A and B are shown apart, each in its own frame.
Chain A
Amino acid sequence: MTSELQSLLELPSRWMNQAGTLGYSPTHSQVVSGSIFVTNPISFRPRTPSADRDVIAYPGGFLLHSGLANSGWKAVRKKYTSHWAQYRLPVWIHLICQDTAELERIVRECEETEGIAAIELGLPPGCPQDFMLQLIHHAQGEIPLIVHLSAGENHHLLNNLPPEVSAITLGSPRGRMKSEEGKIISGRLHGPGLFPLMLEHLNSLCGLGIPVILGGICNREDGETALHTGAAAVQMDRLCWMGELPVSSTS
């Protein structure tokens, strides 16, 4: 099963950016030829920034909570279609959707859009497994589907993944921290301090027979370690923001 599905998903590079790190367009100067470009999370309808948006640093990393604001699929597609088509990088669209009909519509439109090589589906936190499986079902189409899981969440899904899922990406975990104002903020954790935990999760998922793409990678050395430990590919996280994005290695 694995080898058949892996053939659906082209990995011209084993290095790519993580969703949310480089915007929507591969025209960004930090994207190098030969890599894969993953868009910021895109929803069907526009999403406004969270009222509690914040970045909170801690030793070894930081918590980021943005609310995944975006102008919605229709506006993003209109603005960036030509970018996706023009640059010869495989573009993976990271979708966040909680409505199966809307999700299906985006998937159909992705199939008609030049340059889109795969869909990476982000699953909403805390929803029932049945609904997650429904979302996965409705995201299936003619282009490869990658399911994005957060480390430590929903791993039980992996036993029931439909065979059409080409790969999973394992993103860094969510966490909670106190803001300067004393509010408890929930968000995604980033930073090199998470790597041992990410590697442990990778190790536990590698035997499941589906390619695992490990996110949350903050430096080249950690990326290479993950690749040698069984990751099918790695997604660079904080490094993108420092203007040092992915390595053009195809190894």
Chain B
Amino acid sequence: MKLMYENYTLCYNRFMKKLDGYLTKIWHDAKAACFEFETTSVISIQAGQFMMVRGVDDILPIPVYPSGTLNGTFTSMSSAGRHWKVGDQLSISGAHGKGFNIPSVSRKLLIISSTSTPLRLIPLATQIIAMGGEVALYAGIIPEHIPAEMELLSKDQLGEAIAWADCIIGDVRQKSLTKWKDLFSGLNISLHGREIQILVDTPLVCAGASDCGICAVKTKHGWKHACSDGPVFLLDDLEME
């Protein structure tokens, strides 16, 4: 069966689930590699969570995330997994981590992306639009396939959009966190009191199996692991290293 994810369900699996599957489709959207998988059973996964997927010859598994407008589409970062071919047998585990938690009353979603693709945030846009809401996107790179109803913003529209939105999400590479915060400097924008959920990109290796610490993120509550405590964090909780 085609591997699907549940947009609306917070479904964090504490114990690692593993299943076998194979790749049914691979394509590129802007800089991102996108995939579809066929599996023997269903993994419940929500936007922001990830699965670890490993081909027979892969030394390390590759994290892939729900992405795009179509249920069942996944993406990796930095085009990892682009060597896979349709029909490749894959070992899949997940869902790992904690994803986005969008309040059910939210109808005005602002997405601010500073990574190589905002694709991992798009499932939430699709969700809000399906509920009759509105979505605005600020991103450096715009994917080919995004909801037609989504408004694209320029940097000077950000202030107004922040005031408009009832929910703000984003993504950032951990090493670029300061740049994300700098985005708002000079724009006379106050984020005070706004709860911003942000997907933090770090290397993900063990998915919590070894406490390897590679994905450590410094927060106001101490060091956290993106693989199990994240990768979605509240922006306010994050600290610069």
Contact = CB atoms under 8 A, between A and B. Distances in A.
> Chain A interface: which size bin?
20 to 34
Nearest to B241: A51
Contacts of A21: 206, 209-210, 212
Nearest to B80: A57
A48 B60 CA distance: 24
B216 A23 contact: no
In this complex, the member of A29, A61, A62, A69 whose beta carbon has the largest number of chain B beta carbons within 10 angstroms is A69
A55 B214 contact: yes
A24 B211 contact: yes
A240 B211 CA distance: 12
A132 B207 CA distance: 34
B213 interface: yes
Interface in B1-34: 15-16, 18
A70 B175 CA distance: 21
Contact of B210 (A48, A61, A191, A241): A241
Contacts of B18: 243
A34 B22 CA distance: 34
Given A64-B205, A181-B175, A242-B54, A55 B210 contact: no
Nearest to A46: B223
A57 B59 contact: yes
Interface string A14-51: 00000011111000111000000000100000001101
Given A181-B175, A241-B205, A64 B212 contact: yes
Contacts of A20: 210, 212
In this complex, the member of B60, B93, B210, B216 whose beta carbon has the largest number of chain A beta carbons within 10 angstroms is B210
A78 to B, nearest CB: 16
B59 A22 contact: no
In this complex, the member of B16, B91, B205, B214 whose beta carbon has the largest number of chain A beta carbons within 10 angstroms is B214
B175 A57 contact: no
Contacts of A28: 209
B60 A243 contact: no
Interface in B159-217: 175, 203, 205-207, 209-214, 216
A192 to B, nearest CB: 7
A30 B15 CA distance: 11
B60 A23 contact: no
A240 B213 CA distance: 15
Contacts of B59: 57, 60-62, 191-192, 238
In this complex, the member of B206, B207, B216 whose beta carbon has the largest number of chain A beta carbons within 10 angstroms is B206
B164 to A, nearest CB: 36
Contacts of A40: 210-211
Nearest to A192: B59
Interface of A: 20-24, 28-30, 40, 48-49, 51, 53-55, 57, 60-62, 64, 66-70, 180-181, 191-192, 238, 240-243
Interface of B: 15-16, 18, 54, 59-61, 78, 91, 93, 175, 203, 205-207, 209-214, 216, 223, 241
8 contacts: A22-B209, A24-B211, A40-B211, A66-B213, A191-B59, A241-B60, A241-B205, A242-B54
